[in-house]
């Protein structure tokens, strides 16, 4: 009898630790497919940009909330990129500011829609322009 109780306690403790491990810490979510849009190039021409965006979420329980609003988030990133000019797209330091602006814009939208700000960081893991 004692062994059965001890095994039950061990199993329950192990299960709780496994659940805590899966819900703690950040989670990365890749927006797929890549975002492709135009930006203002020099003169009358348009440049094109293709980015892969990864979002660092506060925790795994925020994933469904973000997935539900992906069309809204994609549109916001697309609009942000389209507002830039050639100098801003090609500058590495301005690109970091662009990621910060994107983070702020996405969290503002999610706060308005859901009352939460689940995104900790926005990362451009691929950034191709022409």
**Domain boundaries along the sequence of the chain:** 25-129
Under DSSP, the state recorded for 91 is: -
Please state, in angstroms and rounded to a whole number, the distance separating the CA atoms of residues 122 and 2.
Answer: 52
At 97-129, the pLDDT tens digits run 999 999 999 999 999 999 999 999 999 999 999
More confident residue, 4 or 120: 120
At 82-104, the pLDDT tens digits run 998 888 888 888 889 999 999 99
The predicted pLDDT at position 87 comes to 86
Q: What is the number of helices (H) and of strands (E) in the chain?
A: 5, 3
Global pTM reads 0.77
Name the superfamily (CATH) of residues 25-129.
Answer: Band 7 domain (3.30.479.30)
Please state, in angstroms and rounded to a whole number, the distance separating the CA atoms of residues 81 and 40.
Answer: 10
Please state, in angstroms and rounded to a whole number, the distance separating the CA atoms of residues 58 and 24.
Answer: 9
Please state, in angstroms and rounded to a whole number, the distance separating the CA atoms of residues 38 and 30.
Answer: 21
């Amino acid at each position: 009898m004692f062994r059965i109780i001890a095994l039950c306690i061990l199993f329950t403790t192990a299960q709780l630790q496994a659940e805590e491990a899966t819900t703690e810490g950040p989670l990365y979510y890749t927006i797929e497919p890549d975002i492709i849009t135009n930006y203002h190039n020099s003169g009358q021409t348009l440049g094109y940009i293709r980015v892969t965006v990864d979002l660092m979420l506060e925790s795994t329980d925020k994933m469904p909330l973000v997935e539900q609003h992906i069309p809204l988030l994609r549109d916001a990133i697309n609009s942000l990129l389209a507002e830039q000019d050639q100098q801003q797209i090609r500058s590495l330091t301005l690109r970091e500011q662009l990621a910060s602006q994107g983070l702020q814009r996405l969290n503002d939208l999610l706060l308005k829609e859901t009352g939460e700000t689940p995104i900790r960081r926005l990362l451009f893991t691929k950034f191709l322009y022409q």
